[in-house]
Structure 1
Amino acid sequence: MENSGIYVGLDIGTTSIKVIVAEHIKDQMNIIGVGSERSDGLSRGVIVDIDRAVSAIKKAIQQAEQKANIQISKVTVGIPANLLEIVPCNGMIAVSDEAGSSKEIDEDDVYRVTEAALVQKLPPERDVIDIIPDEFIVDGFDGIKDPRGMIGVRLEMNGVVYTGPKTVLHNTMKCVEKAGLHVEGTVVSALALSTTALSDGEQDFGAVIIDIGGGQTTAAVVHDHKLKYTYVDQEGGMFVTKDISVVLNTSLENAEKIKRNYGYATSSLASKDDVFPVEVVGKVDPVQVSGEYLSEIIEARMTQIFEKLRDALEGIRALQLPGGVVLTGGLAALPGMKELAEDIFDVNVKVFIPQQMGLRHPSFSQAIGLIKYVMQQGEIEKIVKSTITDGDRRNISKESDNVVTLNPKVEETGTKKKNDTDKKSSAFDGVKNFFSTFFD
């Protein structure tokens, strides 16, 4: 079924808030409006001041409305992968008519079996972000993608639930609603990003996508078109800017400009003969700094970030996936970033840059991904997701008739706190076993 209409993606990042309005007609996505505003009220990908964040969201929305010449009321919002958990789920219901015999499976049955799959005791501090069906089983016949119209007496669904910290979800939803918008859907940012930054082959055979944002850097492992694992390092482009500011004794504003205009991520590509003026605090005249010296500052921080990501990814053997590493996010555009990543990860690396007119910069990848993710969703996926988007269905802890919930343990664990080494080790052990089936 063709998903035609207007779609709006809202990417709430640490350094900028981006809104993209797209029109989908005959399998073509046309960007008709863009808004970009400097973020306020966010720290390391998480909203810390609702009122300031709301103001920034409103400004970005107004820009997009003016360019698209429409009024925006509904948006799809990306949720960061901070402390993300990927939980397998299974639900089963009886399908029968009033006489107790088998009947045709309809949309309501799909809705009920999804609710059955969601019947599990979530910790009070966590909430459901998204649920994706893997397969339906009708009377023991598995591998069914859409059971509607089939005859059966028992319907099962196997799927994946993405859960995140309740405070992150609540603050995000609160900000969007206070900005006068309706949240049409929430999507794990890393999952949405994979739909636009990875090719079909890379999503199928497996690849690692690294989003270098302003406040944090996220590595996501995708295989068989599914998000398998995420790791977040709480350092990003802003840390590079702060390093430049401290070392060169200049303001953060000047440091950001210097990074964008003269920065290289690999010092071997920069020249010590190329110099530029830097306004130094406490001095009247600018100080001349070489490009090589600046690149050494940038390279030191990015090496630290990449090495932590490498250690996490090697722990689950993700760097053996044939798709290699794909870099995106604002800082991925810095010259030499690809070469530095290749040296540290020792795999094939490429930088993804969107090809839409006026959006040819990695910083727009996330917002475009949100739109493409929704556009590619089939009708059955939308029905399944409606169990958490229709009404107040997020706190699912009830029991219902004809429900069997199987093995609701966490099979792949998402991002852990930076210093929580014991939990990180446990997560790696679990995912090692999961990935071993792909490589053995």
Structure 2
Amino acid sequence: MDKSKVIVGLDIGTTSIKVIVAESIQDQLNVIGVGSERSQGLSRGVIVDIDKAAASIKSAVAHAEKKANVPITTVYAGIPANMLNIEKCDGIIAVGDTSREITTQDVAQVVNSALIRNLPPEREIIDVLPSEFIVDGFDGIKDPRGMVGIRLEFHGILFTAAKTVIHNTRKAIAQAGLHLSGLVINPLALGQLILDDGEQDFGTIILDLGGGQSTAAVIHDHKLKYSHVDPEGGEYITKDISVVLNTTLANAERLKREYGNADAALVKGSDQFPVEIVGQTNPQMVGEDYLAEIIQARIEQILERLGSGLSKVHAFDLPGGIVITGGVAALPGVSELVQKVYQRQVKRYIPDQMGLRHPSFAQGLSIVSYVAHLNEINTLIRRVVDPAEIRPRQATPRAARPLATATTDTRVPDQPVQAPTPAPTREKKDPEKTQRPNPKKKKKTQRIKNLFTNFFD
């Protein structure tokens, strides 16, 4: 029996949008198509212009469709760690008066009981990861279905994010003509992809140095324990080069890629390259060491701010060291600079799949890998945590009739709203019509009267 399935991951980054199409066959993940497009309508990892973002997503999907030779209608999208909150959640239900087997419905109910909480109106639940189930006091259970018990408990980790970030992501994907199958938390998926079992268990720091922002995350005991986003990334390095060297952003980006180095101490010699200066006809020669100093200054600022938060949670005490990835990690000397700043062991992750051998593709690949390795319990919990089901304001009241569209505005934009059809009322009788005799009825009544008169006679 063929159990293969196609998974499409959508990485909506500040500088580029990447679509990765992969085929999952018996725990084997094969990438069959990749699409990439320059991002429009994003700022610091968040969609700020839905129309422009939707157009970029649509273009990236078209490129991936062409390479994979499969139609793309549904995607799994990554959610950045901006304003991500991590907290514990617990739930408990009574399975029954007498012992019986625990079912899928029981698991859904106990997870729902853990989600009963007063969230601020600007936040929304993204996902819940199970830590353990407890059946009648027996803990450490991963899947309680089929077990016999009276009381079922659930302990998990709850992830919430800003409702604006989630709404704009959903809206842009829908406007691009795609169906969103689910949301995946970026640092959570990235940790499962780039860290081995020991690194996830003992604790490791992940630095995702992207184009629009930089993210620090801590994975410990196979769980995402901490995440923090710095609103600066590779774009700011490009802007620094542009301002200092008085050249255009396009030239600055090219210089960064061709001659850039993140650690000025690694640049030996006085090699120079020409730079087109704004307002001048002839280019000016600039040394590679000077360019490296510009790049290093900005990266050090980012690392210092990220390191401040990591120090507060004692992340540098973890034995797993630091793993870096993201577009900025492609610059030579980044690993050496991070190791110099943090005084910890550092390694760089680059995907080894054909066509993805660049650290900027790590996030997109992690999305499809995360979805491909979801087990039945995680899949069940993700269905329970569907935001459309857990928000009280969208829930249908118990006493209401099943009118699914009663609370949803399904009007087509720019069309007039039609007034509701009034309920049919009983037509008032015309007094004249009421008093007017009916000839047929009168004739029938007279025959009955004659019958009774003849009978008594």
Normalised to the residue count of structure 2, the TM-score between the two structures is: 0.84
- Could you report, residue by residue, the CA deviation over 1:392-431 in whole angstroms, capped at 9, with x for unpaired residues? 1242588x9xxxxxxxxxxxxxxxxxxxxxxxxxxxxxxx
In the alignment, what sits opposite 1:325? 322
Task: Name the structure 1 match of 2:36.
Answer: 36
Query: Are 1:127 and 1:394, in contact at CA under 8 Å, matched by a contact in 2?
Result: no
1:350 maps to 2:347 = yes
- Say which of 356, 359, 365 aligns to 2:356: 359
Partners of 1:106 and 1:185 lie apart in 2 by: 24
Does the residue aligned with 2:247 lie in a helix, a strand or coil? Answer: coil
2:243 alignment partner AA: V
Q: Which residue of 2 aligns with 1:369?
A: 366
Question: Hey, what does 1:307 align to over in structure 2?
Answer: 304
In structure 2, C-alpha distance between the alignment counterparts of 1:360 and 1:146, rounded to whole Å: 37
Query: Which whole-Å deviations, capped at 9, do the CAs of 1:99-126 have from their partners, x for residues lacking one?
Result: x433211111111111111111110000
Asked if residue 65 in structure 1 is aligned to residue 61 in structure 2, the reply is: no
Paired letter, 1:58: K
**Which runs of 5 or more structure 2 residues have no equivalent in the other structure?**
398-457
Which of 220, 224, 227 in structure 1 is aligned with 2:221? 224
Question: Given the alignment, which residue of 77, 101, 105 partners 1:104?
Answer: 101
Give secondary structure in 1 for the equivalent of 2:388. coil
CA contact (8 A) 1:118 1:396 kept: no
2:265 to 263, 268, 271: 268
**Alpha-carbon distance change, 172 to 233 in structure 1, aligned in 2, over 3 angstroms:** same
2:247 aligned partner:
250
Distance 2:339 2:390 in 1: 41
5 Å-filtered alignment, 1:425-436, equals none
Aligned pairs (5 A) from 1:53-132:
53-96=53-96, 100-132=97-129
Q: Return the alpha-carbon distance in structure 2 between the equivalents of residues 116 and 177 of structure 1.
A: 31
TM-score by length of 1: 0.88
Q: Give the corresponding residue for 2:238.
A: 241
RCO higher in structure (CA 8 A, sep ≥6):
1
- For 1:138 and 1:153, the matched residues in 2 are separated by 7
Q: Which residue of 1 aligns with 2:438?
A: none
Structure 1 distance, partners of 2:200, 2:282, is 53
Distance 2:229 2:4 in 1: 34
Alignment of 1:387-402 (within 5 A): 387-389=384-386, 392-395=388-391
Deviation at 1:5, TM superposition (A): 1.2
1:272: Cα distance to partner?
4.8
1:388 Cα deviation (Å)? 2.2
Distance across 1 between alignment mates of 2:53 and 2:26 = 36
Q: Of the two, which has the highest radius of gyration?
A: 2
Contact 1:3 1:375 in 2 (8 A): no
Residue of structure 2 in register with 1:48 after alignment: 48
1:339 positional shift = 0.6
RMSD of aligned alpha carbons: 1.7
AA matched with 2:255: I
Assess if the C-alpha contact under 8 Å between 2:79 and 2:184 holds in 1: yes
Percent identity between the two aligned chains: 56
CA-CA distance at 1:135 after TM superposition: 0.6
Corresponding residue for residue 169 of structure 2: 172
Which of structure 1's runs of 4+ aligned residues deviate more than 4 A?
none
Q: How many residues align?
A: 396
Deviations 1:241-295 (A, max 9, x none): 0000000000001100100000000001124521111111010011111100000
Q: 1: CA distance between counterparts of 2:346 and 2:4? A: 34
Secondary structure of the equivalent of 1:373? helix
Structure 1 contact 233–309 (Cα < 8 Å) conserved: yes
1:342-382 deviation line (CA, Å, top 9, x unaligned): 00010000110001011110000000101111111110111
Q: How does 1:196-235 map to 2 (within 5 A)?
A: 196-235=193-232
2:336 to 336, 339, 364: 339
